[in-house]
Amino acid sequence: THNIERHEYDVVVIGAGGAGLRAAIEARQQGKRTAIVCKSLFGKAHTVMAEGGAAAAMGNVNPDDNWMVHFRDTMRGGKFLNNWRMAELHAKEAPDRVWELEAWGALFDRTKDGKISQRNFGGHEYPRLAHVGDRTGLELIRTLQQRVVALQQEDYEKHGDYEAYIKVFAECTITRLLKDGDAISGAFGYWRESGNFVLFDAPAVVLATGGIGKSYVVTSNSWEYTGDGHALALLAGAKLINMEFIQFHPTGMVWPPSVRGILVTESVRGDGGVLRNSEGKRFMFDYIPEVFKDKYATTEEEADRWYTDQANNRRPPELLPRDEVARAINAEVKAGRGSPQGGVFLDVSTRLPAEEIKRRLPSMHHQFKELADVDITAEPMQVGPTCHYIMGGVEVDADTGSSCVPGLFAAGEVSGGMHGSNRLGGNSLSDLLVFGRRAGAGAAAYVDSLPARPKVAAEQVDAAKEEALAPLGRSGENPYEVHHELQRTMNDLVGIIRKANEITEALGVIEKLKERVRMVGAGGSRIYNPGWHLAIDLRNMVLVSECVARAALMREESRGGHTRDDFPAMDPEWRRKLLVCSTEDGSTINVEVKVQPPMRDDLITLFDRDELKKYLTDEEMAEFDRIAK
Ligand code: FAD
């Protein structure tokens, strides 16, 4: 290990999206020497792409909103499979996290009386998303980066070194976590540009690596979302939950092919956009599921009135949770009522004046003009489902973000539990802030509690080095071909609608792909070599895909982001069950069933009996009746 670049920190945060930055800020504020490591450029994370906003029950637009309403909406959105403690903390703390951002310099859009404005979104009872046009994520990241710089300036004043307590390592990819016995001792990675290795010696690691979308062909996610954090956690002995639940966002671009999957924000529907099929019909009225019947308008007239009078009308069905809308679009296209390029029509042009569209949805206007030569102020967009978000991730303690591996923490999209079987739009940005802060604090407290610093073992570093170098020495399989086959398999066989025989077929392909990944070769040197980087990422994508497929095969029901054609109903028995993925040998995935603890009495009694009946078992209902008395 003597010739490897080496750094010592108290806390290493992997990922510089909202979760990573908020965690790093917290760890530094608690006096810990903190590194932020990110695979892409600093400032280029998923978070920056978030358009709609951050959900927080501030009650600025509708004073009836409060954390309890937000909690209920979140649990409903996740079909009651959510970790209720996380949903509770999230709903209670999101407003403080948004106000804190404002104190750090974020410029949110305003209501007429000068408060932070809030917009409507699918599944949220009241206008709740704090936003900056349709560029909210950009402002969030800008603010958090500015806060990092402010802290670095403080450190300069005190220690004469800007980077004394918080330093960013950008374009640096972590490939292995290191352990001393059971506990985390550091992380190993390489610089994208030079291919040189780097070692972080640290007792605490916070994973904030985001999603896994690049395992699918059609996705709103960008190149770096290869499930690295999910895989790093698994390989370090942590557990992943809810991996069968993947959110297919209903509205991705479908045309031209080069941009297929790029997101069309839900704000288009929140601000009045409607979905139509090739017959011109507003088809969402045909797809309101039983559990949501009393909350959504049944006629176009009522739906239209809702935009101006929400107290006396029900919401348009275009604003159903994402899983419902995605399935409906899928069904319309399958039934032959799709748009020419295989999507459906999303129209805002006949709903709002052109100027208003340009003001409210500037990036959508720009995106369609530039990429598809479509003017959304004059014509409809063509849209279809796209792999967007994974609800599943590292199983963590709700309060501290700690995993079952001492010293390993996770926050944001890489963690699991908060969103249950389906995430509501806007609940991710707030999740990042709430649980990023908690994981940073959890890591700091853990470091304080340690009697001695865990040691990095030289053999582990050598093994990590060898593993990373292996593809360079081979002339075998082409990483791009292997990747494409994995993406097609996941898209076609473990996609939005699933069946046992197809998932089994996918698992067969994955088994073969595992072999091929071991033979993957990359030509060229270590210097800026994307083929080599992909060869390294493939290990992660295959591991994560196997978790998704195994859990999807096991869960014999349909719920949220998991739809089984062969088990179309939601099953109350399955609601209580979490599927927990782990690996012992670093290659074979085990899935175990774990029963969730029942919801705390004061939380479950926030719901009406009639609603709970749709989700809970008879036994659970009997318990509810006992408590409610
Ligand atoms: P990310 O922001 O994804 O950041 C991950 C970080 O980890 C990056 O810095 C990356 O470089 C780094 N990383 C990954 N692997 C490694 C590795 N091996 N080594 C080192 N670094 C690594 N949610 C909302 O709530 N509201 C919205 O309006 C919204 N709009 C969205 C629009 C789009 C187009 C997309 C794609 C998502 C949207 N989401 C939205 C979802 C939300 O943006 C993401 O879930 C969220 O930003 C994830 O944040 P994160 O901090 O967990 O990770």
Q: Count CB-CB contacts under 10 A for residue 593.
A: 12
Question: How close is the Cα of 17 to the center of ligand 1, in Å?
Answer: 6
Q: Give mean pLDDT, residues 101-121.
A: 94
Give 465-530 as a DSSP string: HHHHHGGGG---B-HHHHHHHHHHHHHHHSSSSB-HHHHHHHHHHHHHHHHHHHTB---S-SSS-H
**Ligand 1 near 273 CB (within 6 A):** no
For tokens 């040189």, what's the residue?
Answer: 196
d(CA 24, CA 37): 10
Q: Considering only CA atoms, which of 123, 100, 207, 140 is closest in space to residue 427?
A: 123
- Is residue 178 within 8 Å of 146, Cβ to Cβ? no
Q: Considering only CA atoms, which of 615, 455, 500 is closest in space to residue 76?
A: 615
pLDDT for the residue numbered 256 = 87
Q: Which atom of ligand 1 is nearest to the CA of 52?
A: 28
- Is residue 407 within 8 Å of 446, Cβ to Cβ? yes
d(CA 120, CA 65): 12
**Ligand 1 near 367 CB (within 6 A):** no
Q: Does residue 99 sit in helix, strand or coil?
A: helix
CA geometry: angle at 551 spanning 548 and 556, to 5°?
A: 130
DSSP 8-state code for residue 457: -
d(CA 188, CA 168): 15
- Is residue 439 within 8 Å of 407, Cβ to Cβ? no
Q: What is the β-pairing status of strands 408-410 and 204-207?
A: parallel
pLDDT at 99 over 90: yes
- Is residue 560 within 8 Å of 422, Cβ to Cβ? yes
pLDDT at 473 over 90: no
pLDDT for the residue numbered 257 = 87
Inter-CA distances, 172 with 192, 276, 277, Å: 6, 45, 45
- Is residue 101 within 8 Å of 432, Cβ to Cβ? no
d(CA 168, CA 286): 50
Q: What is the β-pairing status of strands 183-191 and 197-201?
A: antiparallel
pLDDT for the residue numbered 369 = 96
pLDDT for the residue numbered 266 = 87
**Ligand 1 near 40 CB (within 6 A):** yes
**Ligand 1 near 137 CB (within 6 A):** yes
**Ligand 1 near 402 CB (within 6 A):** no
Express each pLDDT in 539-577 by its tens digit: 999 999 999 999 999 999 999 999 999 999 999 999 999
Average pLDDT over the chain, rounded to an integer: 96
**Ligand 1 pocket, mutate which of 12, 41, 47 (most atoms under 8 A from CB):** 47
Inter-CA distances, 329 with 277, 287, 302, Å: 9, 10, 22
d(CA 629, CA 622): 11
- Is residue 461 within 8 Å of 178, Cβ to Cβ? yes
Q: Considering only CA atoms, which of 527, 533, 428, 361 is closest in space to residue 45?
A: 428
List the catalytic residues. Answer: 249, 269
Give 183's strand partners. Answer: 180
d(CA 64, CA 66): 7
Q: Considering only CA atoms, which of 8, 7, 33 is closest in space to residue 152?
A: 33
Q: Give mean pLDDT, residues 612-618.
A: 95
Q: Which atom of ligand 1 is nearest to the CA of 436?
A: 51
Question: How close is the Cα of 414 to the center of ligand 1, in Å?
Answer: 9
CA geometry: angle at 476 spanning 475 and 477, to 5°?
A: 130
- Percentage of the chain beyond pLDDT 70 is 100
- Is residue 469 within 8 Å of 222, Cβ to Cβ? no
pLDDT for the residue numbered 3 = 84
DSSP 8-state code for residue 413: G
Strands (E), 110-211: 118-119, 129-130, 166-170, 172-180, 183-191, 197-201, 204-207
pLDDT at 423 over 80: yes
- Give nearest CA residue, ligand 1 atom 37: 50
Give 178's strand partners. Answer: 186
Q: Which residues of 10-40 are buried (b: 16+ CB within 10 A; e: fewer)?
A: bbbbbbbbbbbbbbbbbbbbbebbbbbbbbb
Express each pLDDT in 438-462 by its tens digit: 999 999 999 999 999 999 999 999 9
**Ligand 1 near 45 CB (within 6 A):** yes
- Is residue 174 within 8 Å of 161, Cβ to Cβ? no
Q: What is the β-pairing status of strands 166-170 and 118-119?
A: unpaired
Express each pLDDT in 510-529 by its tens digit: 999 999 999 999 988 999 99
pLDDT at 103 over 70: yes
For helices 500-518 and 530-554, give the axis angle rounded to 10 degrees: 150
Query: What tokens were used for 105?
Result: 């310099």
d(CA 229, CA 235): 10
Express each pLDDT in 271-282 by its tens digit: 899 999 999 999
- Give nearest CA residue, ligand 1 atom 21: 38
**Ligand 1 near 20 CB (within 6 A):** yes
pLDDT for the residue numbered 362 = 92
**Ligand 1 near 15 CB (within 6 A):** yes
Express each pLDDT in 193-237 by its tens digit: 999 999 999 999 999 999 999 999 999 999 889 999 999 999 999
pLDDT for the residue numbered 149 = 98
ipTM score: 0.99
Report the first-to-last Cα separation within the chain, whole angstroms: 65
- Give nearest CA residue, ligand 1 atom 23: 428
**Ligand 1 pocket, mutate which of 140, 205, 428 (most atoms under 8 A from CB):** 428
Q: Positive or negative, the Cα torsion across 106, 410, 544, 202? A: positive
For tokens 């076609």, what's the residue?
Answer: 492
- Give nearest CA residue, ligand 1 atom 30: 50
Encoded amino acid at 516, one letter = R
Q: Positive or negative, the Cα torsion across 247, 371, 214, 129? A: negative
Query: What tokens were used for 13?
Result: 């945060």
pLDDT for the residue numbered 498 = 95
**Ligand 1 near 46 CB (within 6 A):** yes
Q: Count CB-CB contacts under 10 A for residue 525.
A: 11
For helices 136-159 and 84-103, give the axis angle rounded to 10 degrees: 70
**Ligand 1 near 343 CB (within 6 A):** no
356-362 — which CB contacts under 8 Å span 24+ positions? 359/133, 360/133, 360/134, 360/267, 360/271, 361/133, 361/134, 361/265, 361/267, 361/268, 361/271, 362/133, 362/134, 362/135
Q: Considering only CA atoms, which of 394, 366, 368 is closest in space to residue 379?
A: 368
- Give nearest CA residue, ligand 1 atom 40: 50
Q: Considering only CA atoms, which of 180, 230, 228, 171 is closest in space to residue 202?
A: 180
- Give nearest CA residue, ligand 1 atom 24: 426
pLDDT for the residue numbered 1 = 58
pLDDT at 158 over 80: yes
Question: How close is the Cα of 615 to the center of ligand 1, in Å?
Answer: 31
pLDDT for the residue numbered 569 = 94
Q: Count CB-CB contacts under 10 A for residue 8.
A: 14
Express each pLDDT in 330-380 by its tens digit: 999 989 999 999 899 999 999 999 999 999 999 999 999 999 999 999 999
Express each pLDDT in 355-368 by its tens digit: 999 999 999 999 99
Question: How close is the Cα of 131 to the center of ligand 1, in Å?
Answer: 17
d(CA 427, CA 15): 19
Q: pLDDT class for 2, splitting at 50, 70, 90?
A: low
Express each pLDDT in 288-337 by its tens digit: 998 888 999 999 999 999 988 988 999 999 999 888 899 999 999 989 99
